[in-house]
């Protein structure tokens, strides 16, 4: 993902606001390296031989006491680099277990790789890339690399866009006929936190975490200053930027309550994980969110270990890191769907974490289904979603419109949660396949292939995705023959039709004194067409007998004469949770 690439003006309904976004990224000339920090991953044997006690990230507030790893060759170099404040990115795994897996030919799990990875703060005068190169050359080190900035992928937007056109564009209302989401499905929003008291979000929140740890004196690039909570980890992921709150409200919001906005999910739960803190451009007061790839990796691990089913990351920068890639792989191995924004610099350069394997990378479109000019392109795009003029929740209980691939990504994460609600047994890979295969193909010219480098597989389609996840309509109807005037010789009977998506049966009326046939069919899905025809001796179909109609809640009538046979056909289509019945009278 690209860094923030512009200021944001937006319309809000309440509370004062700061301008969100920046006309230039926090890093300079494409350099997204965090000054004074490196990430070191030890080889497995070296990690097992460590003698130092290193705190696990996330931890408490302030600086850790560790300034060495207890590996002599590595510690000598760390000392020369002025190392201090060393934290482990995940709990260490057991060396014996790794040895057994190696003998069995099983790849080492990503969990154990994170467990031997450390964020190391060094003398600010030492260039991180040179420090990493020196450490990387050591026999005990598997990889050493600079820590890198990750930034919110939001851009300026015209405040005239106030309606939630994006939900209609992705066919969310039709999807809601099938599911409005489930309280059992959790989406982790790894971002700038969430307005924890927002009335549209608070009832849907589950416990999260503030993962930001940039140290007691982080060094911003020239022209910027830190204003947010950048050094204290705790269980209060309060948003100081507004970006995470906006993203969360697109994924899920208290809906159908005549207040505020609707989210893609009405029941979906949100796990706010703060990985970006507030920074301000000194020249004009523009606000952005920024954090580190090490904190993002820890946030991904936290989400995967604490019950998240989907992760949304509307953040990124041009460079990858091994620990972040390992964290993504770990989450996917636990069945978590990982969704990320493509970035906003309009180029074809990859952005991370969107470009990692198994991440669903999301591009942005305008309301006319053309690519948003800022949306990055490239072969790793999976899908496109609305990303211009997106109205959602904001700080102080308010609303705002924003634009960016940051706004497109949560549409996809929200639909992934709907798909998971429909069929909880689906794996992360299966959910990704469903989203891609049901997307509406988009092309700039007719000859463009699908997928392509501008739209991926096309426009997200929530309705098609949940219908595919649910599979063919399965009805369990019964047909009950009833007498309006009871006759002993004509006993009512019930016929249970087979469970299948398309039902065809013929029910002959054997008793001439039968005045009606009552079709009692609990319809657990909305069936769009139910052609009913009547055949047999006599005058032919009666009024209503041949009319197709839609089944929703209520009773529907079609008449026929005694002695006729009713051919009943229910076609596979649609979805919902309505209950209805067909009533066929003389």
Task: Report phi then psi at 574, rounded to 5.
Answer: 65, -170
Which pLDDT belongs to residue 79? 95
Q: Which of 524 and 142 is assigned the larger pLDDT? A: 142
Structure tokens, 140: 């005990």
Which pLDDT belongs to residue 286? 85
198, 243, 246, 411: which is the annotated catalytic residue? 243
Element (H or E) spanning 408, and its range? helix 405-422
DSSP state of 31: B
Least confident of 57-66, 89-98, 309-318, 514-523: 514-523
Give the contacts of 80 (CB within 8 A, at least 6 positions apart).
none
174 catalytic per annotation: no
Which pLDDT belongs to residue 104? 38
432 prior amide bond cis, ω within 30: no
Which pLDDT belongs to residue 547? 29
Position 14 pLDDT exceeds 70: no
Position 505 pLDDT exceeds 70: no
Position 515 pLDDT exceeds 60: no
Position 49 pLDDT exceeds 80: yes
Structure tokens, 320: 């990858």
CA-CA distance, 137 to 386, in Å (whole number)? 45
Which pLDDT belongs to residue 529? 37
Q: 114-145 burial, b for 16+ CB within 10 Å, e for fewer?
A: bbbbbbbbbeeebebeebbebbeebebbbbbb
**pTM (2 decimals)?**
0.70
Which pLDDT belongs to residue 65? 64
CA-CA distance, 101 to 107, in Å (whole number)? 7
Position 194 pLDDT exceeds 70: yes
Best-predicted range by mean pLDDT (33-37, 210-214, 272-276) = 272-276
67, 191, 295, 345: which is the annotated catalytic residue? 191
Which pLDDT belongs to residue 130? 95
Task: Report phi then psi at 555, rounded to 5.
Answer: -110, 150
Which pLDDT belongs to residue 293? 94
| Confidence band of 259 (pLDDT split at 50, 70, 90) | low
Which pLDDT belongs to residue 495? 38
**Each residue's pLDDT tens digit, 142-190:** 999 999 988 776 543 433 233 688 999 999 999 998 899 999 999 999 9
Q: What's the CATH number for 150-470? A: 3.40.50.200
The backbone region for 223, taken as left when phi is positive above 0, alpha when psi lies in -120 to 50, beta otherwise, is left
Whole-angstrom CA distances from 110 to 53, 90, 123, 330, 337 are 22, 10, 30, 5, 16
Which pLDDT belongs to residue 486? 37
The whole-number average pLDDT for the span 341-355 is 94
191 catalytic per annotation: yes
117, 153, 406, 409: which is the annotated catalytic residue? 406
Q: Which of 402, 527, 418 is nearest to 474 (CA)?
A: 527
CA-CA distance, 557 to 229, in Å (whole number)? 65
| Confidence band of 260 (pLDDT split at 50, 70, 90) | confident
Which pLDDT belongs to residue 129? 93
243 catalytic per annotation: yes
Domain boundaries, the chain: 33-148, 150-470, 472-586
């Amino acid at each position: 993902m690209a860094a923030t690439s512009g200021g944001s003006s937006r319309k809000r309904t309440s509370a004062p606001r700061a301008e969100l976004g920046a006309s230039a990224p926090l890093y300079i000339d494409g350099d997204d390296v965090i000054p004074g920090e490196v990430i070191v991953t030890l080889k497995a044997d070296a990690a097992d031989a460590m003698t130092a006690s290193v705190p696990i990230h996330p931890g408490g507030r302030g600086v850790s006491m560790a300034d060495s790893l207890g590996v002599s060759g590595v510690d000598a170099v760390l000392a020369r680099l002025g190392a201090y404040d060393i934290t482990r990115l995940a709990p260490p795994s057991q060396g014996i277990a790794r040895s057994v897996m190696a003998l069995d030919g099983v790849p080492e799990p990503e969990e154990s790789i994170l467990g031997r990875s450390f964020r190391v703060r060094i003398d600010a005068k030492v260039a991180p890339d040179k420090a990493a190169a020196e450490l990387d050359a050591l026999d005990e080190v598997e990889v050493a690399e600079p820590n890198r900035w990750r930034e919110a992928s939001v851009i300026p937007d015209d405040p005239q866009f106030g309606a939630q056109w994006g939900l209609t564009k992705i066919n969310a209302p039709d999807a809601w006929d099938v599911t409005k989401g489930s309280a059992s499905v959790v989406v982790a929003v790894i971002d700038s936190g969430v307005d924890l008291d927002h009335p549209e979000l608070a009832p849907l929140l589950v416990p999260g975490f503030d993962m930001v740890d940039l140290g007691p004196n982080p060094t911003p690039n020239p022209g910027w200053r830190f204003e947010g909570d950048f050094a204290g980890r705790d269980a209060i992921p309060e948003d100081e930027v507004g970006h995470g709150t906006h993203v969360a409200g697109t994924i899920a919001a208290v809906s159908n309550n005549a207040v505020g906005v609707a989210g893609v999910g009405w029941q979906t739960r949100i796990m706010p994980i703060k990985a970006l803190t507030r920074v301000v451009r000194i020249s004009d007061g523009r606000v952005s969110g920024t954090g580190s790839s090490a904190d993002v990796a820890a946030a991904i691990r936290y989400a995967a270990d604490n019950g998240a089913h989907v992760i949304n990351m509307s953040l990124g920068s041009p460079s990858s890191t091994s620990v972040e890639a390992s964290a993504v792989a770990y989450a996917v191995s636990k069945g978590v769907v990982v969704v990320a924004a493509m970035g906003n610099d309009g180029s074809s350069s990859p952005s991370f974490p969107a470009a990692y394997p198994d991440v669903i990378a999301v591009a942005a479109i305008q309301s006319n289904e053309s690519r948003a000019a800022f949306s990055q392109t490239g072969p790793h795009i999976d899908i496109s979603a609305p990303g211009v003029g997106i109205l959602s929740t904001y700080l102080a209980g308010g609303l705002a419109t924003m634009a960016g691939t940051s706004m497109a990504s949560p549409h996809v994460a929200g639909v992934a949660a709907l798909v998971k609600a429909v069929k909880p047994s689906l794996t992360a890979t299966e959910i990704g396949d469903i989203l891609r295969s049901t997307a509406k193909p988009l092309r700039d010219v007719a000859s463009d292939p699908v997928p392509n480098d501008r739209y991926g597989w096309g426009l997200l389609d929530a309705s098609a995705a949940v219908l595919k996840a649910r599979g063919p309509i399965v009805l369990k109807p019964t047909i009950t023959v009833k007498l309006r005037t009871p006759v002993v010789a004509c006993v009512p009977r019930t016929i249970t039709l087979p469970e299948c998506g398309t039902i065809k049966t013929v029910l002959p009326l054997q008793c001439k004194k039968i005045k009606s046939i009552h079709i009692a069919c609990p319809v657990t899905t909305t069936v769009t067409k139910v052609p009913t025809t009547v055949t047999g001796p006599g005058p032919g179909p009666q009024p209503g007998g041949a009319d197709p109609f839609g089944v929703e809640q209520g009773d529907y009538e079609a008449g026929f004469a005694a002695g006729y046979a009713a051919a009943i056909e229910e076609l596979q289509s649609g979805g919902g949770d309505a209950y209805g019945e067909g009533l066929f009278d003389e």
